[in-house]
Chain A
Amino acid sequence: MSPGPNSYYGPLDPAPDAGWSDAPPRMGFFTDTSVCIGCKACEVACKEWNDVPGSGLDLLGMSYDNTGALTANSWRHVAFVEQARPAGHRTPPFAGNPTGGSVSASSAAVAAGSGNPTGTDPGVPPGSPDAAARMAAGPSSDATPTAAGTQFLGMPGDGPPGRTGSAEGRTDFRWLMMSDVCKHCTHAACLDVCPTGSLFRTEFGTVVVQEDICNGCGYCISACPYGVIDQRKGDGRAWKCTLCYDRIGVGKTPACAQACPTESIQYGPLEELRERAAARMATLHDRGVPEARLYGHDPTDGVGGDGAFFLLLDDPEVYGLPPDPVVTTRDLPKMWKRAGLAALAMAAAAVAAFVGGSS
C-alpha cells in the first residue's frame, strides 16, 4: 500500500488510508463541555470496563479534580476550572448567591505543585504557578472584570456556602468542566512513530495500542502533541483510550459515553457528530454564550482533525489542550532530507580527512 498525497498531513479518511477496504464510517466522540456536570461517571465507567488501575483518589487542590491529567491509568480525565467571572450582559451562574467566592488564582497557583501518585510515567508532573493563576483568573478578553478573589476562600464543600460571605465580597464565578480523552487523531503521531507496530488504526478510524506487542519504548509518549499517552510503571507499556474497540466492534457505545448522564459525551459517526456540534454551537451563540467554540473538529487543522473533538467555553490551553497542535510527521520528509545532507557532509568530511593533508 503506498501512502496517499495526504498521508502525512491534511484532510484524510484514516481507515482506508491505513489499508482497510470497506471500512465502516469513522466513529468518534463529541464532548460538549457546556453540559458537563463534572460527575466523573465517565472516568469510573472507563476504569470498570477496561480494567484500568486506580490513579489516586485524593483531591489535588485543583477544584474537584483528583485525577490531574490523562495518564496510562486514567483514560478519561475530568478537568475542573474555577474562574472569577465578570458580570456581563448575561447572568453569571452564581449570581445572587452569597457564596463567598471560589477557589482563586492564588490557590490555583499553589495547586500547580500538587503531585499525584498515578502509578505512571511521566504521569502528572507539577506545573507553573503563574500560568495556573492566569487560568483561574478567567478569560482576558472580557472588557470589565469585576471583583475576583485572590485569596483562598475555601474549596467548594470546605465550608457551608454563604456563611462567611458578605454581599460586596461576593465573587461571581464559573465552573468549567471537561472530560478529556485521547483525540484519535486523523494523523496520529503516536501511531506513526511506533517502531513495533503496536499502535494501529482500526477500521473505525480510531487508534489503539496492542498490549501484547508494545515493548515500552516510549516513543509515542514524546510524539503525541496532546500529551495523552503515558507509560504504566511496573508494567512498562504504553496505555491510552481505545475508544472501547471491543464494545464498538459489536455495535455498543463506549463505556464513558454510555455512562454520561448529560450527554456531554456523545458517540457516533464523526460526520454526524460534526453536524451536531455545529448546530449546538450556533444555539449557544444565539443564547448569548459567545465564547462557545469547537476544538479539533476541523479536518484542515494541524492533525487533520480529531476523532474525538470538543465544544469549549474558553481557550483550549485553559483546559490543558494545545492551542494549535501539529502532527510532528508533517515535517518528517524534510527531516529525512536534512539527515541525508548531514550524512553526506559527514562522509565527505571523513574522506577529506584522509585524502587531504600531508601527514
Chain B
Amino acid sequence: MSDRPVGDRFRRFRDRLAGTAGGPDPTAGESHATSFRPDAPRSDAAAQAARLAPVPSGAPTQRRRGGRRGRGGEELTVPAAGFTSYYGRPVLKPPVWKWDIAAYLFTGGLAAGSSLLAAGGQFTGRPGLRRAGRLAALAAVGASTGFLIRDLGRPARFHHMLRVAKPTSPMSVGTWILAAFGPAAGVAAVAEAAPWLPEDGLPGLARRVLPPVGHAAGLAAAATAPALATYTGVLLADTAVPSWHEAYPELPVIFAGSALASGAGVGLLAAPLGQTGPARRMAVAGAALELYGSHRVETRLGLLSEPYRIGRAGRLLRAGRVLTAAGVAGALLGGRSRAVSALSGAALLAASVATRFGIFHGGVASARDPKYTVVPQRERLARRAAVQD
C-alpha cells in the first residue's frame, strides 16, 4: 500500500490538528467545558476553523471542496443544511468512470446526429450532407467503442458485455444498440468509396452494388440513431448518483438535443453551402431541446440542481450555453458565408462537448458530497412522516 511506517498517517493527522482550532496541546489539561447547543451551530466554530486553517502540504486535504460554497459570489439558494455523515465522508461511492465516458457521451451523440443528417441527405438528394454525415458517424462510433473499452477495468473482457441482454441494465441495452448501429454506420460510410472504384471487373461490381447497400445501411443506422442518442440519459440516470438520478426526465432530452446539434455541426462544417439548409434547421431544433433540458436540470431539482450550477460542471454548462447560442446565431445568419457556417458548426460541436462534460461532472460532484445524498433523503422521510401524522 505505502512504504510509510505504520502510524505515519495518524501522526500527520495530529500535526494537522495541532495546526488548527487554536491548537491546544493535545494533552493539555485545561478545562474544555465549552458548552454548546444540540442543534446546528454546535461545534461548527471549531469545525470552521479546522477547515479554514492551513494544512501541511502533501497531506490529503479537503482541497477539492474548495469551491463548494457560494463560488463567485453566488450564494446558496438552499440554506446550509445541518446534515450528518460518518466523518463527513460520502455515503455513496462516486462514479469510477473517467473522462472517457463523458467523451463517449459526446461521440455517441455525434454518431447518432450525423447518421440522421446523412439519411436526410440521402433521401432529399443532398450528397454533401450524406457523405459528411456518414463519415462522421463512422468516425464517431469508432471513437465511442474505443472510449468505452478503454474505460473498462478489464478492457480485454469487453466482449463479456455480449453474454447477456438485460433491459434492467442500460449499459447492456446500449451495448446492443451500438452493436446494431456500428456495423450499419460502417457499411454506409464504406459505400461512400464507390465512386473511386474502377468501372470493370470485381471492383466494378462493387461500384454498382455499394450505393444501394449503403442506402439500406444508412437507413438502418438512422433508425437506431435516436435510441443511441437517448439511452445514455438512462445510463446516467439509472444510478444512485443523486443529481443524475433525479434528472431522469431531462437527461434524454438534453442528450437528444445535443446529438442533433452536433450532427448539424458536422453538416455546417463539411457540406457545400447550398446543401446546409436542413443542417441549420436541425441546429435550431437541437439547441432548443438542449437548452430547455439543461435549464430544467439547473432549476427544477432544488438542492440537486446545485452541482450543475457551481464548480466545474457549472462552468462547463455555462460555456455550452454560450457556444450553443453562438452556433445557432451563426447557423441562422451566416447562410451565405462558408467561414461563418464552418465556425458555427465548430461552435455547435464544442457546445455539445461542454454540455456532456458538464452533466457528467455535475453528477460526480453530487455523489462526492454527502450533503446531496443525506439532505434529500431526510426531506423525503420528513415528508412521509408528515403525511402519516
Contacts and interface: CB of A to CB of B under 8 A. Distances in A.
B26 A154 contact: yes
Contact of B35 (A148, A343, A353): A148
A338 interface: yes
A221 B381 CA distance: 25
B337 to A, nearest CB: 14
B89 A152 contact: no
Contacts of B62: 112-113, 126-129
Interface stretch (B9-17, B195-203, B322-330, B349-357): B9-17
B252 A110 contact: no
Contacts of A58: 4, 6-10
B274 to A, nearest CB: 8
Contacts of B171: 193, 195, 217, 219
Contacts, number: 470
B153 A317 contact: no
Nearest to B68: A128
Q: Which of A129, A163, A341 has the most CB of B within 10 A?
A: A129
B386 interface: no
A317 to B, nearest CB: 5
Contacts of A145: 35-38
A345 B169 contact: no
A158 to B, nearest CB: 7
A127 B166 contact: no
Contacts of A65: 87
A149 interface: yes
A152 B17 contact: yes
Contact of A193 (B169, B252, B255): B169
Interface in A204-220: 213-219
A106 B285 contact: no
Interface stretch (A165-173, A251-259, A280-288): A165-173
A135 to B, nearest CB: 5
Nearest to A320: B86
B249 A133 contact: no
B91 A321 contact: yes
B9 A128 contact: no
B281 A149 contact: no
A353 B281 contact: yes
A237 B363 CA distance: 22
Q: Which of B26, B93, B169 has the most CB of A within 10 A?
A: B93
A349 B289 contact: yes
Contacts of A230: 93
B302 interface: no
A113 B59 contact: yes
A237 B233 contact: no
Contacts of B90: 125, 127, 227
A121 interface: yes
A136 B42 CA distance: 11
A359 interface: yes
A59 B164 CA distance: 43
B260 A359 contact: no
B160 to A, nearest CB: 4
Interface in B218-259: 222, 225-227, 229-231, 233-234, 237-241, 245, 248-249, 252-253, 255-257, 259
A291 B173 CA distance: 45
Contact of A331 (B4, B97, B248): B248
A339 interface: yes
B43 A148 contact: yes
Contact of B166 (A109, A171, A197): A197
Interface string A338-351: 11111111110111
A169 B32 contact: yes
Interface string A162-183: 0111101101000000000000
Interface string B78-110: 000011111111111111110000000000000
Contact of A61 (B14, B231, B381): B14
Given A150-B46, A154-B27, A346 B169 contact: no
A344 B226 contact: yes
Contacts of A10: none
Q: Which of B7, B171, B252, B369 has the most CB of A within 10 A?
A: B252
A77 B268 CA distance: 56
A65 B10 CA distance: 11
Interface of A: 8, 54-62, 65, 68-69, 79, 81, 100-101, 104-119, 121-122, 124-143, 145-155, 158-159, 163-166, 168-169, 171, 189, 192-198, 213-219, 221-231, 235-238, 315, 317-325, 328-329, 331-332, 334-336, 338-347, 349-359
21 contacts: A60-B10, A69-B86, A125-B90, A128-B65, A129-B88, A134-B43, A134-B84, A137-B36, A137-B38, A137-B43, A150-B34, A193-B168, A193-B169, A197-B163, A214-B153, A222-B95, A227-B240, A229-B93, A322-B374, A346-B289, A353-B281
Q: Name the 6 nearest CB pairs between A and B, nearest first.
A: A216-B153, A236-B153, A359-B277, A320-B86, A127-B88, A115-B60
